[in-house]
Structure 1
């Protein structure tokens, strides 16, 4: 069953965050992860949520999603993101039948 990591990111250091963006794609490959949404232009339709940058990653399984997040491959990029932004992040399983 596919799994998704969803991030709501408030970038506080744009230069460092640009370095993070360069490192992240390579860290996804060993876990068969891919970007579904990378930034975009969030539009509020209901409620008071006001995200500035949304990222959605897709993985084949929840195990692969969690393994990527705690991996040595992602660690350098993760440290950059954490120093350059404030982030809310969740992992959620997708629908088995699409």
Structure 2
């Protein structure tokens, strides 16, 4: 019975650390850039877009397709950074134990 009690205590501690990590991730922001920095997209730690910055030189009607592609690319860059930060924090939290496929924090 001692092992079960100890295991439950460890599970509660892990849950507390996960809540702390979620709060850290929500406060975190990552920027993705495309077009040599002419387009910047900012995401929060939950992957929600919180900002877009576009260089004025990109605001030409005949270049709208290029701008659209750069926004998508900048978003993908930022999303990759958020996911990498999440992996690093999870690895630190779990001590390197593998995370089951499909496991989501949010």
Q: Which is greater in Rg?
A: 2
Under a length normalisation based on structure 1, what TM-score does the superposition of the two structures give? Answer: 0.31
Per residue, is there more strand in 1 or in 2? Answer: 1
Under a length normalisation based on structure 2, what TM-score does the superposition of the two structures give? Answer: 0.30
Q: Which has the higher contact order (CA 8 A, sep 6+)?
A: 1
Per residue, is there more helix in 1 or in 2? Answer: 2
